[in-house]
Structure 1
Amino acid sequence: MQAFIGTGVALVTPFKKDFSVDTEALTKIVNYVIDGGVEYLVALGTTAETATLNHDEKELVIATIIKANAGRLPVVLGVGGNNTMQVVEELKTRDFSGFSAILSVSPYYNKPTQEGIYQHFKAIATASPIPVIIYNVPGRTASNMLPATVVRLANDFKNIIGIKEAAGDIVQAMKLIQHKPEGFLVISGDDMITLPMVLAGGSGVISVIGEGFPKEFSEMVRLGLQRKVDEAYKLHYLLADSIDMIFEQGNPAGIKEVFKSLSLSENIVRLPLVNVNEELASKLDNFTKKLS
C-alpha cells in the first residue's frame, strides 16, 4: 500500500485528428509524468474517456502504458461499471500482469442503496486477484458512498486497500480518515482539496492537474505529507487557478488543452465531449506557458 501514497495521475487517452488512439502521444505523456515525479499511474479511468473506447482500443491503451512505463512505477487499472456480474467476469478473466491494483467506481445510473453498493464491492473484492481501490464520485454516479459503507468494506475485505474520495466534501473526507482502519488509504479524487485532505491525514491523490503539471503538484503532495504546510500551500495557490480552468468546461477537455500547449498531444476529445471554447483555451495556454 505504500506504493499508493503520494500522487497518482489519471492518464488521458490522446487521439489523432482522425479520432484514433495516438500511442506515440500516450507514450510521451507517460514519460512526462514519470519524469515529473509522480508516484503511480492510473489507466482507463474516467479521464481516459474509457466510456468511448471499444475493446481493442482499451487493450491498445493498456499495452502502450505498460510498455512506456517499463516497470518504473506501479500502475492501477480502472475496472468498474454498473453491471456487477460483468465486472466480476472481467476480474476473473483478465491478465493483470503489470498492474498493482484496480480502481473500481461505485455503480452509476442504477442508484443502488448503501447495501447495494456494499454487495457490489463485496463481489468485486471476492473476485479480484489484486488489491482494490474503490472510487466514490457522486457527481458522475448519482449516489454517494457514505463513510459508514466505506469503513464496513475496509474492515470486511483486506484487499480493499483504499478509496479515491471525490465527493468534494472535506467533512466527509475527514470522517473517513477518522473512522478508517489503520493502513486504509483515503486518496483525494478532487484536485482542489487534495492538500487539505492530505494535511487531515489523507494518503495523497489520484489527480488530473497532476498530469499536466506533475512536478509542481506531486511536490505539493509530498510537502503536505511531510507537514511542510507553508511550502505546500505556496504550490497549491500557484496551481489553484489552473485546477478551476481544467474542469470549467469538462474533463478531460481542459487537461487536453494543457497537453496541446505542452506539445505532447492534440486536444481532441470524442463525442459526446467537445473541446473547450477559444477563450478558455487561450487562458489555459497562457497559464501553461507561464508556468513552464
Structure 2
Amino acid sequence: MNTKFLGTGIALVTPFKSDLTVDHEALANIVNYNIDNGTDYIVVFGTTAESVTVTKEEKKAVIKTIFEVNKGRLPLVLGIGGNNTMEVVQEIKTTDLSGFDAILSVSPYYTKPTQEGIYQHFKAVSEACPIPIILYNVPGRTSKNIEPETTVRLANDFENIVGIKEAGNSVSQYLRLLKDKPENFLIISGDDDLALGVVLAGGAGVISVIGQAFPKDFSEMIRLGLKGEAKEAYKLHYKLMDVIGYIFEENNPAGIKAVFEALNLCNDTVRLPLVPATNQLKAKINDFVKGL
C-alpha cells in the first residue's frame, strides 16, 4: 500500500489578489499553515484550485512557490486530467513530474463516455504516466459515474493506479468499493461530510476542501478514524459539520475562500465564471469562525 496517501490530503486553493493575479504570498502562508498543523499531503491543481482558469505560465509559477515552501516536507500530488485523452497523455509526457509523488486524474467530463470508454481513457493515462495515479470520480461535475466495477477493473489491471478519490457522495458506492477493491488499493474520500464514515469503514483517508482551513482538527479527526477511535473522531466531525455544509452551499472554491478570508489567510477573489460567496453566506461563515 502507498502509505504516502494515508490520512488527510488537501485540495489546495489558488489565492488571487483583488486584481485577479495569483497571490503567491498567501499561497505560501496557506501551505506552511497546513504543514504546521498536521496535513499529510497536498494536491495541487485539483478542482478547488480553479485550475481551468489558471494559465500554463501561472501554473508553473504556483508549482515553483509550492516546491520552495514545501521543501520536500509533504508528498505532493498534481492534478492532470481532462476529456481529451490524447491531450491528457501529451500533458503527462511533457510535464516535469519529478517533484510529485502522484497525479490525480479526473474522469472525462462533458462527453459522457461509457464505462469502457472510461476504462480505455485511464488505460492510456496509466501507460503514459511514470508515477502513481489516483483516479478521481466526481459525477456531480463530470455527469458520468465511474462504476465500482470499472474502478476495481482498473485497480487490478494497472499497477500504477494506486487509489481513487471517490466523490460520488454515495455511501453504498463507497462500501461496494471497500468490499471489492484489491488489498492495497486506496479508497480516498472526496466528500468532506462522509470522510470519517468512509475511514471507519476501511478507507485510506480524504482529499479535503475544508481540511486546509482547519487542518489541526480535520487531520486529527481522520487520524482518530484510521485508529478506529470513532467516539473521539465524531466529536471533531460535529465541531466542523456546519462549516462543511456552508462551503459547498453556493460553489467551491468561493466557500472555502470566504473561510480563508475570515481566517485572514487570503481574500475571497475567484475568477469568472465563479463569483464570491454572497454576504449572507459570508455572515454564517464569519460567525462560525468567531465561534470556533
Q: Counterpart of 1:35 in structure 2: which amino acid?
A: D
Q: In structure 2, how many angstroms separate the alpha carbons of the residues matched to 1:36 and 1:256? A: 19
Q: Counterpart of 1:240 in structure 2: which amino acid?
A: M
Q: How does 1:151-230 map to 2 (within 5 A)?
A: 151-230=152-231
Can you list the C-alpha shifts for 1:223-269, whole angstroms capped at 9, x where unaligned? 00000010000100110000000000110000001111111111100
Shift of 1:140: 0.3
Q: How does 1:79-90 map to 2 (within 5 A)?
A: 79-90=80-91
Pairs aligned (count) = 291
Normalised by the size of structure 2, how large is the TM-score? 0.99
Q: In structure 1, how many angstroms separate the alpha carbons of the residues matched to 2:267 and 2:210? A: 17
Q: Counterpart of 1:225 in structure 2: which amino acid?
A: L
Q: Does 1:243 align with 2:244?
A: yes
Shift of 1:289: 2.3
**Residue of structure 1 equivalent to 2:63:** 62
Shift of 1:62: 1.1
Shift of 1:119: 0.2
Shift of 1:290: 2.0
Normalised by the size of structure 1, how large is the TM-score? 0.99
Can you list the C-alpha shifts for 1:162-190, whole angstroms capped at 9, x where unaligned? 00000000100010010000110000000
Q: Counterpart of 2:282 in structure 1: which amino acid?
A: A
**Residue of structure 2 equivalent to 1:274:** 275
Q: In structure 2, how many angstroms separate the alpha carbons of the residues matched to 1:139 and 1:61? A: 27
Q: Counterpart of 1:139 in structure 2: which amino acid?
A: G
Can you list the C-alpha shifts for 1:83-128, whole angstroms capped at 9, x where unaligned? 1001101111111121000000000001000000000000000000
Q: In structure 2, how many angstroms separate the alpha carbons of the residues matched to 1:83 and 1:61? A: 24
Q: In structure 1, how many angstroms separate the alpha carbons of the residues matched to 2:282 and 2:81? A: 32
**Residue of structure 1 equivalent to 2:8:** 7
SS in 2 for 1:163: strand
Shift of 1:64: 1.2
Q: In structure 1, how many angstroms separate the alpha carbons of the residues matched to 2:173 and 2:7? A: 20
Q: In structure 2, how many angstroms separate the alpha carbons of the residues matched to 1:289 and 1:121? A: 44
Q: In structure 1, how many angstroms separate the alpha carbons of the residues matched to 2:76 and 2:12? A: 11
> What's the % identity of the aligned pairs?
63
- The unaligned stretches of length 5 or more in structure 1 are none
SS in 2 for 1:269: coil
Q: In structure 2, how many angstroms separate the alpha carbons of the residues matched to 1:279 and 1:70? A: 39
- The unaligned stretches of length 5 or more in structure 2 are none
SS in 2 for 1:265: coil
